[in-house]
């Protein structure tokens, strides 16, 4: 049996609070790794995390404590006996200071001596102080390839130019730009390619890692489209049969409407949670990496009459939809289809005459004195837009983000909407139509639908394929 290749060992080092754990969370998609905080010195011990390819560790990262007093330690190490810089570092590690006042720094240097290379994580927002120059020299004493990683470069206070000048003066000319809070397309690929320059004997393996990550990102996008498709199909299948006399009473009608909106909110919340998991975030990450809730999940924006009217226009259903939605809003059922056509009168009748299927759908249970509330296409369109905005947010949202993220951009009444994207979303909403005839396709929040089988699976793939056309290219 052929032994698995030895993983590349990378020590992740740097000053306290530079974002080392944040970087590793982003690189490994491990939201549960370590602790991310604005507090200095959060990592106190060396922690290990693997980047796996096909189940095997390809890169083994070591998250190390922050360097706290490199200035004093460098002077101490330089005064020790030894015929080389690494020899003097090893002499220090055998002495009492490595178990005392310099215990944290000793953990870093011990790992670095055993590693193949190091990522030197630098908070580019910090001023370039003399102590950082001493940190670079101290790490260089271990005689291991060091690749500086400029973190938080998207921040308005980044001092990238000053840091590059200092690193070049220290002989470190290969520098990677990365942002653990807002990673940009190609950042990981550049990271591994530049590391391959420093480690030519591992270049082929590092190229394989970069290729794997690109393929993984593409697969994650495809899966996200299926997640959104599942939410849309479940919402399209959602219906609530209510007695006709409830609809005639304003208070009862309002309660029935709110009940259906609550069911829809559960579907949307479940879809949001699925997307968070897909991108390696946890639903409870609010304390460490706050992520925006899906705008409108509480029912407020999703049922706003003006947003619904605009969604109707983007769906290509024109003024008739706006009029019908307006009439429904007056009855406190904005965004929901009402199976009691008489309540909407001529406005809804006109909409039906123009072939707007879900509006005013009459169901078989009407013969039993019941009417059905269902979710309109315009609401599905808004759900799709917001979940797409969330996907794009997550693609540019690193696990090192500690401040609040901006909410997914919701359409406003006078916004210009890209027609190609709108066309793709229209196709996706149209592909959900089979779910209207299959109440068993409703997923009941986070649960899987109770039925549907091959027919639902085929519909889901059609919706997902249409959704994929709405996302901009990654590269």
DSSP reduced 3-state for 279: coil
pLDDT band at 76 (very low <50, low <70, confident <90, very high): very high
- Rounded to two decimals, what is the model's pTM? 0.71
pLDDT band at 84 (very low <50, low <70, confident <90, very high): very high
How far is Cα 381 from Cα 231, in angstroms, rounded to an integer?
A: 12
pLDDT of residue 404: 38
How far is Cα 275 from Cα 392, in angstroms, rounded to an integer?
A: 11
5 DSSP 8-state letter:
P
Judged against a pLDDT cut of 60, whether residue 411 lies above it is answered with no
Q: Which residues contact 49 (CB under 8 A, 6 or more apart)?
A: 24, 28, 30, 33, 34, 60, 61, 63
Which tens digit of pLDDT belongs to each residue from 204-263? 888 888 888 888 888 889 999 999 999 999 989 888 777 777 767 778 877 877 888 888
Q: What is the mean pLDDT of the chain?
A: 74
Average pLDDT over residues 39-55: 70
Is residue 429 within 8 A of residue 380, CB to CB? The reply is yes
pLDDT of residue 325: 41
Structural domain boundaries in the chain? 8-198, 219-468
Tokens of 219: 């697969």
pLDDT of residue 93: 94
Average pLDDT over residues 437-441: 86
pLDDT band at 318 (very low <50, low <70, confident <90, very high): very low
Is residue 163 within 8 A of residue 150, CB to CB? The reply is yes
Judged against a pLDDT cut of 60, whether residue 359 lies above it is answered with no
How far is Cα 80 from Cα 108, in angstroms, rounded to an integer?
A: 18
User: Which residues does residue 9 pair with via DSSP β-bridges, in sequence order?
Assistant: 60
Phi-psi region of 113 (alpha: psi -120 to 50; beta: other; left: phi over 0): alpha
Is residue 31 within 8 A of residue 281, CB to CB? The reply is yes
Specify the range with the lowest mean pLDDT, choosing from 102-106, 164-168, 368-372, 404-408. 404-408
What is the radius of gyration, based on Cα positions, of the chain? Answer: 28
Report the number of secondary-structure helices (H) and strands (E) in the chain: 16, 9
- Looking up tokens 């399209």 gives 236
**CATH 1.10.3720.10 describes domain 8-198:** no
Which tens digit of pLDDT belongs to each residue from 49-62? 888 888 888 889 99
Is residue 344 within 8 A of residue 328, CB to CB? The reply is yes
């Amino acid at each position: 049996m052929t032994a698995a290749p030895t993983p590349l060992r990378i020590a992740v080092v740097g000053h306290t609070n530079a974002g080392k754990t944040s970087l590793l969370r982003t690189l490994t998609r491990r939201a549960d790794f370590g602790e991310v905080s604005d507090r200095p010195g959060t990592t106190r011990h060396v922690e290990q995390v693997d980047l796996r390819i096909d189940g095997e560790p390809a890169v083994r990262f070591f998250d190390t404590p922050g360097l706290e007093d490199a200035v004093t330690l460098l002077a101490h190490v330089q005064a020790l006996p030894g015929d080389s810089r690494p020899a003097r570092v090893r002499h220090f590690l055998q002495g009492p200071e490595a178990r005392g006042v310099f215990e944290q720094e000793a953990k870093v240097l011990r790992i670095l001596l055993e590693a193949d290379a190091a990522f030197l994580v630098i908070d580019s927002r910090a001023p370039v102080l003399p102590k950082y120059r001493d940190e670079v020299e101290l790490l260089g004493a271990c005689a291991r390839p060091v690749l500086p990683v400029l973190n938080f470069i998207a921040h308005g206070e980044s001092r990238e130019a000053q840091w590059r000048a200092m690193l070049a003066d220290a002989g470190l000319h290969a520098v990677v730009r990365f942002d653990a809070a807002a990673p940009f397309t190609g950042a990981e690929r550049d990271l591994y390619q530049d590391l391959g320059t420093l480690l030519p004997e591992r270049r082929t393996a590092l190229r394989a890692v970069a290729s794997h990550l690109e393929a993984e990102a593409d697969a994650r996008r495809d899966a996200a489209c299926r997640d959104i498709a599942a939410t849309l199909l479940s919402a399209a299948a959602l219906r609530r049969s209510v007695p006709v006399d409830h609809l005639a009473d304003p208070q009862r009608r309002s309660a029935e409407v709110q009940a259906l909106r609550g069911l829809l909110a559960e579907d949307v919340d479940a879809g949001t949670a699925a997307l968070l998991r897909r991108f390696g975030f946890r639903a409870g990450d609010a304390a460490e990496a706050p992520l925006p809730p899906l705008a409108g999940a509480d029912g407020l924006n999703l049922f706003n009459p003006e947003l619904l009217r605009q969604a109707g226009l983007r769906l290509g259903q024109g003024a008739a939809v706006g009029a019908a939605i307006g009439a429904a809003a007056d009855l406190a059922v904005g965004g929901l289809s009402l199976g009691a056509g008489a309540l909407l009168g001529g406005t809804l009748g006109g909409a039906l005459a123009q072939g707007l299927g879900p509006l005013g759908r009459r169901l078989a249970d009407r013969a039993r004195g019941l009417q059905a509330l269902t979710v309109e296409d315009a609401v599905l369109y808004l759900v799709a837009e917001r979940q797409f905005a969330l996907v794009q947010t997550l693609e540019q949202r690193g696990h090192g983000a500690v401040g609040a993220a901006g909410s997914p951009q919701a359409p406003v009444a006078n916004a210009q909407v890209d027609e190609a994207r709108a066309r793709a979303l229209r196709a996706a909403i149209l592909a959900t139509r089979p779910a209207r005839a299959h109440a068993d396709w409703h997923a009941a929040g986070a649960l899987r639908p109770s039925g549907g089988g091959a027919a639902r699976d085929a519909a889901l793939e059609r919706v997902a394929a249409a959704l994929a056309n709405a996302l901009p290219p990654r590269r």
